[in-house]
Amino acid sequence: MTSANTGTEMGSSASRFNLQQYVVYLGFLAIFLFFAFMLRDSGFLTVRNLSNIVLQTAPVT
């Protein structure tokens, strides 16, 4: 009986969204959106700056 209960418990836990896996990405997105909004007239969303951001954050991912 314990193996049947374990199978249903694993199935329900596997379908849940695990926030801990995405904390770094959500934090990066929040910081990115903050600077995009605050520095919108200063050229934050230029191609050169976005490519620098991608190159510098690539080792994190």
- Report the predicted TM-score, pTM, of the whole model to 2 decimal places: 0.57
Percent of the chain whose predicted confidence (pLDDT) is above 90: 23
| Per-residue confidence (pLDDT) for residue 11, from 0 to 100 | 54
What does the DSSP assignment read for 10-56? Answer: HHHHHTS--GGGGHHHHHHHHHHHHHHHHTTTTTTT-HHHHHHHHHH
| Per-residue confidence (pLDDT) for residue 41, from 0 to 100 | 85
> For each of the chain's 61 residues, which pLDDT tens digit applies?
555 555 555 555 556 778 888 898 899 899 989 998 999 888 888 999 889 988 888 786 5
CA distance 18 to 22: 8
Could you state, in order of their start, the residue ranges of all structural domains in the chain? 18-61
